[in-house]
Every structure is written in structure tokens, then in C-alpha cells.
Amino acid sequence: MADNSFSDGVPSDSVEAAKNASNTEKLTDQVMQNPRVLAALQERLDNVPHTPSSYIETLPKAVKRRINALKQLQVRCAHIEAKFYEEVHDLERKYAALYQPLFDKRREFITGDVEPTDAESEWHSENEEEEKLAGDVKNKVVITEKEAAAADEPNPKGIPEFWFTIFRNVDMLSELVQEYDEPILKHLQDIKVKFSDPGQPMSFVLEFHFEPNDYFTNAVLTKTYKMKSEPDKADPFSFEGPEIVDCDGCTIDWKKGRNVTVKTIKKKQKHKGRGTVRTITKQVPNESFFNFFSPLKASGDGESLDEDSEFTLASDFEIGHFFRERIVPRAVLYFTGEAIEDDDNELEGDEEGEDEDDVEINPKVGNFGATQTSSLCCTVRFFKMFPTFRQ
């Protein structure tokens, strides 16, 4: 019987495979000539993500080597930028000394130790002309009544409850103040900012000066914020300026029974053996603004803080920065409410260009470059509104 597995010396399987390949090529040619198929393929190619990293991976080794050299230069730039911010801190310290005599005089006017002269108390408002015309008409009618009322008008010493009023006006601060904090804050006479000395690690101290009161014996309560202005070795490209990394409070010497940061609770306790019940009392933490002086410590042992602790610490840093950057330099405007209106207008302007869903605040990343400030450092992106920390 004849063997049909070969035809002219060529295996039949090979012949069949060749036919199939030829048919496949013809079918492919027909498909690729179909406009609808081509459009669908192009659409799929367009939808393939092209990320910068995926592009870098396609580059030749020689080009990648040059990119690494650019990164080395970028790290050196970051270290130069860190030195720049250190010099800015020195410059700010210099100008703080020039501001201080004015702030000292502000305190004297607030406390009533000094009465401003007529020249010092003269102020021209924007609507002065309109107010003057209205006042002239009014004065012709009620001048006698005003003279009589002026004789009976109270003349308190200084500006009563100046700093306490600021606490009430600023939402960020009023949220911290409990009703039992208010009588204490009415004794607050001044808030000062002190910068670290030349050659010392970068930091600033908030000083809260109180007149003698029935709550504690301290004349001054302090809060120190420690800062860092150097690129992170593990992530040097994240450096954007100085950041607060930790803070220290102070011990408040409360008078007996006056500590508002704790409260006493009574609890019934049953004896396991005898079954008798007794009432015990113990002190537990209490919400108060004065917990501000007993801050949470940033983790320095490599352990991560939980989410609530991170938020608490980031909020603390933000509040401390707000005192330093806004409240102390512009106290009278927060007392009158004018600065609050300016802040609201700034926020409205920022929000116009932002989608609410796109806003993200990460307490682990970034520094003071988030929002604009109104001080000297505004021009150099130094100390911005949403300070954060690194663990």
C-alpha cells in the first residue's frame, strides 16, 4: 500500500501548516484594511497610559546615566535652598528686634500703663469724609446730649479683654476655648514670639504673659516649636522649605483646685471578695485651651503615630504657626475683625481655583509652602499656613 504522508518529498503536515499560515496572512490583511477595525485599534492604543516613569524606562542606558547626574545636581540645589532659608530666618530675627519696641508700646496701651497721645491715637478711616458730613449734621442736633453723655461715659483702663477678644474672634482659637477657660484668658496681657539665637537649631518660642490671677502662679507660659531646614536624606526631592518637627510646652503651676485641664469624677467600685461597694474619686483629663502647653510629642524612635495623633500634632503645629505668623504681628486687626475679613477673602480667592474634591492635606508630607502669608517671609515662601511634620 502506498505511503501518502509525503508528496514529492515534502511532509504533508508542513504543507498543511503552510496553507494555514497563508490563509491567516490573507485574513489579517483583510482585517487591517477594514476602517472600523483600524479605528478600534487606534482607540485602544490612545487609551494606554503613558506615565513619565514608563517613558524613562524606555530610554537607553546612556540617557538614564545622564538623568542620574541631573538628580545629583538637584540634590545640591536642595541643600543650597536650605541654606537660603536659614539666612531668611536670620533676617527675620533681625527685623523682629525692630518690631519689638512697637509691640512693647502696644502692650502698654492695652494694659493701660501708658495713655496714647492725641497724635498717636489719630486715625483716618476710608469713609472719613462721609462720616464727617453725617457727623456735622448730627452734631447740630445732639451736641448737648453728647456732652452730657460723655461726662457719664465709663473710661476703663487700657483695652479690656484685648487678647481674649481675639481668641473669640478667630475660629481656630475659639474652638479650643472652653467656658471655664474664659476667666483665665481675660488675664492674658501679651503674646510674644522669640526666635532662636544665631548658631542655635532653628526654632521659635511663643510667650503668653499673664497678670497675677487666681488660677496659676506663672507669669509667663511658653510653647517652643522646633524646626528643620534641610533635605531629608531618604527623600531629598520633597524639600520645599523649613518644617516644624516637634514642640515642647511648659509646666503650669496651678493653684489648689484651679486646674482646668483635669476634672474629678466619682466611680463606684465593688470589692470582688466581700461584695461591698465603695465610691472612689479620680482625676481624668479635661478639654481646655491650656492643654496647648502639654503637647503630644512627635515620634522620634521610628515608630509611627496613629492617624488621630498625627492630626492632633499637625493641628498643634498649625495653631502655633498661626500665632507666630498672624496673631502676634497683626493683633489689633484680629481684635477689630478686619484681619479675619482679609483671611476670608484670601480663602475665597483660593477656593475659586480649586475643586473641593482635589484638596488633600497630608500631615506627613510637605511644609510651609501650602498657602500665602502676609509677612516678610511671604516673598520667600517661608513659614506658610499649613505646617506639617516628619516622623
d(CA 95, CA 93): 6
How would residue 386 be classed by pLDDT, with cut points 50, 70 and 90? very low
Q: What is the mean pLDDT of residues 186-190?
A: 98
pLDDT band, residue 279 (cuts 50/70/90) = confident
Q: Among 86-90, 119-123, 385-389, whose mean pLDDT is lowest?
A: 385-389
Higher pLDDT, 52 or 147: 52
Domain coordinates of the chain in residue numbers? 21-58, 81-116+158-297+308-336
| pLDDT tens column, 310-362 | 898 999 999 999 999 999 999 999 999 999 877 766 656 555 655 544 433 33
d(CA 297, CA 249) in angstroms, rounded, equals 10
Out of 110-124, 194-208, 235-249, 292-306, least confident range: 292-306
Cα–Cα distances in angstroms (integers) from residue 261 to residues 284, 337, 388, in the given order: 9, 29, 26
**What is the band of 21 on the pLDDT scale with cuts at 50, 70, 90?**
low
Per-residue pLDDT, 131: 61
Exposure of 363 by Cβ count < 10 A (0-12 exposed, 13-18 middle, 19+ buried)?
buried
Arithmetic mean of pLDDT, 259-281 = 82
Domain 81-116+158-297+308-336 in CATH 3.30.1120.90: yes
Cβ-based neighbour number of residue 330 at 10 Å = 16
Q: What is the DSSP string of 2-59?
A: ---SEETTEEHHHHHHHHHHHHHHHHHHHHHT-HHHHHHHHHHHHHS---HHHHHHTS
pLDDT of the residue at 77? 94
Please work out, in degrees rounded to the nearest 5, the angle formed at the alpha carbon of residue 102 by the alpha carbons of 100 and 103: 65
> What tens digit of pLDDT does each residue of 118-177 get?
999 999 876 666 666 666 655 655 555 555 555 677 889 999 999 999 999 999 999 999
Say how far apart CA 382 and CA 241 lie, in whole Å.
7
pLDDT of amino acid 262: 94
Tell which residue, 210, 219, 246, 243, has the closest CA to residue 229.
Answer: 243
Residue-level pLDDT at 343 = 72
| 55 contacts: CB under 8 Å, gap ≥ 6 | none
Distance between CA atoms of 26 and 41, rounded to whole angstroms? 19
> Could you give the C-alpha distances from 41 to 25, 48, 54, 224, in angstroms and in order?
18, 11, 21, 63
Catalogue the long-range contacts made by 230-235 (C-beta closer than 8 Å, 24 or more residues apart).
230/79, 230/82, 231/75, 231/78, 231/79, 231/82, 232/390
Whole-model pTM: value is 0.71
